[in-house]
Structure 1
Amino acid sequence: MDTKHKAITADNGKEFAGRKILAENLEIDYYVARPYRSWKRGSNENLNGWIRPHLPKKTDFTKITKDQVRSIK
């Protein structure tokens, strides 16, 4: 997958429980920020807002296909 992004840094919320699968599908490095270190996840909230219309809360990330991930723009 050709992407301009190199990595994602997110918080420790349960909505990111499928982060390994997401990282594999995006072919991108994925980091989890340490609690109470919000400056280490500057794009996290932006990413959440970008993804949520396509993958609402409680989405089972184990059932998302690469094509579904690629369709998120």
Structure 2
Amino acid sequence: METFDKCMSVLRPLIAEGDTNGIAAAERAVNEYVAATPSPDQKNALATVQQAVQAHKEECSGLDLSFADAVNDYIERLMRRFE
């Protein structure tokens, strides 16, 4: 759970700012979380982050909404690797 909290502590402020310059940092946070998760649990780990981003996204509008969508799209691309 510590790695999830670390990932979300990076993602939450980036989503709130909505600055596209933060996309690389968001992707890095997701990648680090997945890398720290044992292989059989990685798809579930991504789903957990995606749910958290979705919950945070409900409070967004404008640029931060677009940023949340970009993070969500990145997670979707990563999840396809596990199908």
Q: Give the structure-2-normalised TM-score.
A: 0.28
Report which of the two has the higher share of helix. Answer: 2
Report which of the two has the higher share of strand. Answer: 1
Q: Give the structure-1-normalised TM-score.
A: 0.30
